[in-house]
Amino acid sequence: MSAPQVLRSRPHFANKFVFWLLGALTLVLLYVESFGPEGVLLYDREASQLFRSPEIYFQFDDEAGDVLPDGGNQSTGDRHHSLTAPGAAPDGVLDVSYIGDFDGDLQRKPFNESTMKTILVWNNGYNAFTEGLKGGDLRELEKMGCPQPNCRVVRNRTLLPLDRYHAIIFHFRATTLDDLPATRSAAQRWIFKETEPASYIYQFPRLYNGLFNWTYTYRLNSDVPAPYGRVARKTPAELEVPFVRQHFNKTRLAAWFVSNCHAHSGRDQVIKGIKSFMQVDVYGKCGVYKCSREDGRSCNAMLERKYKFYMAFENSLCKDYVTEKFFNTLKYEVVPVVYGSANYKKIAPPHSYINALDFTTTGKLAEYLLYLDSNHTAYDEYFHWKKEYKIVNGYLLNVERVCHLCQKLHTDSSTKVYNDLDAWFVAESKCKRLKKRLKTLRWNYDLVL
C-alpha cells in the first residue's frame, strides 16, 4: 500500500488579507512617526529601555557655566573643572589646584600610615582594578605630589573586614544586587562609578536607591568628576618653548575610527549625510579602511600625517559625555570635529575644535570643512591654542582623581545619600537622539541637525 498523502492546505484568503493589512499599517505608522520636529531630541526618563521621546527640540543652553577662554570658570557649582590658571604643574607633575574640594589648601600633609584610608574597588570595570594607580605602593600618592597622600586603593575584598574599608567603589555596569557587601559601617562611603553614558547602562539605577553616598563619573557635577581627559594651561617654563607646527603634507580630508555602527546618537547617519558632500574615510568594523586598535600609536601617527580632520563623534548625546576620542585628537595636528552634548566651550580652548551641532545641516558642516581645506591660513588657526594649552590624561589624570577622592575622605564628613539615582544619572543626563524624516532617506541627502 502506498503511504497516504499529506494534504497541504493553502493559506486562506482572509489570512493573506490580515497579513498584508498588518504590513501596510506598520508602514503607515512608521511614516506618521517620521513627521514632527527633526534634529536632536530628548530621550525620556527611561533611558535604559526603548528611548522613546517626546517630540521636543533640544536647545543647547549654557547651563554648564561660562565660556573658558581666559583661565577658567570660577562658579561654585562646577569648580572641579575649570582650565587651570597659569603657573600650574608641568608635564609629569600632579596638579589639583583646579579641584574645588581642596579649597585652595594645597599644602602637602605628611605621610602617616595611622591615618591611612583604604578604598576597596569592589568589582572590575574595564580592568581598572586599582583605579589606574600602579598599586602595591602605600606612598604612591605622596610620590606623585598629592596634598593628601594618606590613602590606598586595593582590590582584595578579604584584606580587611568589609566594614573596615573607608570607601567602596562599585563599577555600576558590573554591579549586581546579589553581589553587594553583607555589612557596612555607618561612616563607610559607597561610591557609584560609571564611565558609560546613561543611554548604555543596561540596568535600572533606581534599584540601588539609598545605597550610594558619592558619585564618580564623567559628569562634571559628580562628587568626584572623572573626565576622560583634561585641558590645562602651560606653565611659564613650558610657555618659553615655542609651539612649532610640523605642517604635514596631508592628502586626505577626514577620518573616523568606529566599531559601533548603530549608536544611540545616530552618528552613523550624520556621517552618511556628510559623505554626500565630501570624503570621510571610515576605519574599523563600520568601514572599508583598517587600522588595528592594538597598534594605536601607529594609527594616530597615520591620522596626523594624512588627515586634516577627525570625526570625534560620541555614541551617545548625554550631558558632559566626552570620551578619549576628543582629548586624544587634541594631542595631534588634526582638527577634531565633535558631535556630542557636552559644553565643549567649558572643557576646551577656543578654536580648538569644530562642533557639528553649530551647523543646521550636514551640508553646511561639509561646506565649512571644505572651505578650511582650501584655506590654509584659516585651517592653521585651529592650532594656535597649542601655544598656551596642553592635554592631561593617562596615568596622571588617574592620580588626580584618586587624590581628589582621598581629600574628600579626609575632609568631607557630611551626610549624603542618593535616593533617586534615576533622577540624577538618567534624567539629569538629558540624553538625546537624532531624528530625521523618512523622506530624507535617499542616496544624497542633507541631514537636519
Q: Are strands 230-233 and 389-392 parallel, antiparallel or unpaired?
A: antiparallel
Using CA atoms of 228, 135, 153, 175 in order, give the dihedral in degrees to the nearest 10.
60
- Classify 82 in phi/psi space as left (phi over 0), alpha (psi -120 to 50) or beta: beta
DSSP per-residue codes, 356-415: GGGSSBHHHHHHHHHHHHH-HHHHHGGGGGGGTEEEE-THHHHHHHHHHHHHHHHH----
Pair 203, 181: CB distance under 8 Å: no
- Taking Cα atoms as reference points, which of 271, 307, 304 lies closest to residue 286? 271
Regions of the chain with pLDDT less than 70: 1-15, 18, 26-92, 435-449
- CB-based burial of residue 266 (10 Å sphere; 0-12 exposed, 13-18 middle, 19+ buried)? buried
What pTM does this model have? 0.81
Q: What are the cell numbers at 360?
A: 543646521
Which domains does the chain possess?
Answer: 98-227+397-434 (no CATH), 235-387 (3.40.50.11660)
Grid coordinates representing 145 are 605630589
Q: Is 273 helix (H, G, I), strand (E, B) or coil?
A: helix
Q: Which helix (H) or strand (E) holds 312?
A: strand 307-313
Q: Is 237 exposed, middle or buried (0-12, 13-18, 19+ CB in 10 A)?
A: exposed
Pairwise CA distance, residues 194 & 205, whole Å: 11
pLDDT of residue 105: 81
What's the rounded Cα separation, in Å, for the pair 191 and 211? 9
Alpha-carbon span 314 to 391, nearest angstrom: 19
Residue 37: CA count within 13 A, CB half-sphere = 14
The pLDDT of residue 399 is 94
Q: What is the C-alpha to C-alpha distance for residues 212 and 416, in angstroms, rounded to an integer?
A: 8
